[in-house]
Amino acid sequence: MAKAIHSMIRVLDEGRSLDFYRRAFGLEVAQRLDFEKFTLVYLANSQAAFELELTVNKGRTEPYDLGDGYGHIAFVVEDLEAEHARFTAEGLSPRKIVSFAPDGEVIAKFFFVADPDGYEIEVLERGGRYQ
């Protein structure tokens, strides 16, 4: 059986991205691997074994084109309203909280936020299939 261990995104400014993911999700550097043309930075926290890998291509100055294929990565939290308020206080510009109830029953409560490179991140309240 396969086990998901990380997801990778390319970022333009390592410091800016590290600051965002630390303040937003409590992710810290688990390992940093520096190579001639690029650096890999693995971010993690104590909540899960899954990691976010940031790839920083040295010498890159142009923002990445995210295209129309990227969707989002998701994080789950206990208290969505409190996290939304914390994100707002941190100046992270979260979008409004949405209660998704297509047939009248709430399936999910969430908000989205974009990281410094424009990657969309969904923040869901823990419940149902979102554990």
Same domain (yes/no): 82, 129: yes
54 in the same domain as 78: no
Residues 50 and 94 in one domain: no
CA atoms within 13 A on the CB side of 122: 15
Supply the range of the domain harboring residue 41.
1-58
List the chain residues with pLDDT less than 70. none
Number of domains in the chain: 2
Say if strands 73-77 and 108-114 run parallel, antiparallel, or are unpaired.
unpaired
pLDDT in tens, 65-85: 998 888 899 999 999 999 999
Query: In the prediction, which pLDDT does 2 show?
Result: 74
pTM of the model: 0.90
- pLDDT of 129 reads 87
Q: Are residues 78 and 44 in the same domain?
A: no
122 is catalytic: yes
Position 75 scores a pLDDT of 95
The whole-angstrom distance between residue 124's C-alpha and the CA centroid of its chain comes to 12
Q: Are residues 76 and 53 in the same domain?
A: no
Catalytic residue among 14, 53, 120, 122: 122
